[in-house]
Chains A and B, each alone.
Chain A
Amino acid sequence: MLDSSADRAVGETPPVVSKRSRGLSDRAIAWLFVAPSIFLLLAVNIFPLIWTVRLSFTNFRVNRPNAEVQFVGLKNYISVLTDGDIWQTMQATAHFLIWTIVLQVLIGFALAYLINKKFRGNDMWTTIIVLPMMLSPAVVGNFWTFLYQPQIGLFNYAVGYLTGTDPSTFSMIGDVSLAPWAIVIVDTWMWTPFVMLICLAGLRSIPSSIYEAAECDRASKWRQFWTITIPMVLPFLMLAVLFRGIENFKMFDLVVQLTGGGPGSITELTSINLKREAFEKWRTGYASAYAVILFVTVFGLASIYVKALNKVKQR
């Protein structure tokens, strides 16, 4: 019965339509839909990556397209890895990375812990705290340069008010010893809400029954915090650290807008230095080797990140 209905349906289907529908399998249709994305991925991500690796072994300079391109082997890599200036840049990045992560985790977790308590205006405060994260880094960098102004800046005024120092005697972005902290403060201001949100998700995933059981066992609040809250939130905190670590390793826009890498090159992070090598000094081969080194580092960190993410999923 079923066969005869199917035969009849096939017979009634116009030949062109039936040929088309028979011509494309589900797999082919799936490929057809996925193909544009794959093409874009190959064109925008994979091809430039392979091309960069290729260029990193040459003396190519993009401002001299007609010059002969010579294969130089590992020379560019050796140059990058023995360059004291780049090493300094890595240390500036490390200072930025470590302090932003430490401050963001501490403040973010503290805020999440407070927001997790039920109180009046809880939602309003959450929205206010999350606002900086939603702004553009270029905008944030721009208005913080005004806040850091020695003459009219609110930041200097606040510091002067609290410490009794004359606000015009120090410049956060003009002083060699203060500029690295200036970028740390702005990044912390901007991205602490992100860490807070991740911690909040972790805190809200802890079943209240665990705390109730701990209460029955007469565990103190302090003990509950160290033996329940911290271990349960730790995977989320780890995720936040890895996320911010990878993002801040690539930090560019905020710092360029705020200090431009200065004064001197004290806040010149790796991505800013890389841009200068590639598009100001036009050392394309050298900059490619530099980019490959940074890529491998970020890729390695991302691998650990994916592993941590899978652990969180398994919980």
Chain B
Amino acid sequence: MTDFIKGLRGFRRGAWEIVASVLIALGVFMLMQPFSLSLYSASFIVTLVGTVMFIIVSHFPE
């Protein structure tokens, strides 16, 4: 956990990629869940933020 936070603070690729992956997975879940239309409406922006973040953070140092 400490390594993960250190990675986030130091702008390390691994930690930030995990954050971006979680956002993408959350966005896909929100897109397909059967519980709330509001979650569905917000899904695209969450997936988009995750995907763009993934592209950016994959250029961070290891």
Residues of A near any B CB (own CB < 8 A): 77, 81-82, 84, 87, 90-91, 93-94, 97, 293, 296-297, 299-301, 303-304, 307
Give B22-34 as 1s and 0s: 1 = Cβ < 8 Å from A's Cβ atoms. 0011011001111
Cross-chain pair count, CB within 8 angstroms: 53
With A and B bound together, what is the CA distance between A91 and B32 in angstroms? 5
Beyond A91-B34, A307-B21, is A296–B48 a contact (Cβ under 8 Å)? yes
Measured CA separation A97–B21 after assembly (Å): 19
Residues of chain A within 8 A (CB-CB) of B40 are 81, 87, 90
B32 x A301 contact (CB < 8 A):
no
Hey, which bits of chain B sit against chain A, CB under 8 A? 17, 20-21, 24-25, 27-28, 31-34, 37, 40-41, 43-44, 47-48, 50-51, 54-55, 58
Q: B51 is contacted by which of A82, A84, A93, A296 (Cβ under 8 Å)?
A: A296
> Which residue on chain B has the smallest CB distance to residue A307?
B17
Contact between chains at B44 and A93 (CB < 8 Å): no
Roughly how many angstroms separate A31 CA and B20 CA in the complex, as a whole number?
Answer: 35
Q: Is the CB of A303 within 8 A of B51?
A: yes
Let me know if B24 and A303 touch, CB within 8 A: yes
Residues of A near B20 (CB, < 8 A) are: 303
The 10 closest A-B pairs by CB, nearest first: A94-B32, A300-B24, A300-B51, A303-B54, A81-B41, A91-B34, A90-B32, A87-B40, A304-B21, A293-B44
Taken together as a complex, chains A and B put the C-alpha atoms of A293 and B45 apart, in Å, by 9
B54 touching A300, Cβ below 8 Å: yes
C-alpha gap A299/B49 in the complex (Å): 12
Kindly list chain A residues whose C-beta atoms are within 8 Å of the C-beta of B44.
Answer: 77, 81, 293, 296
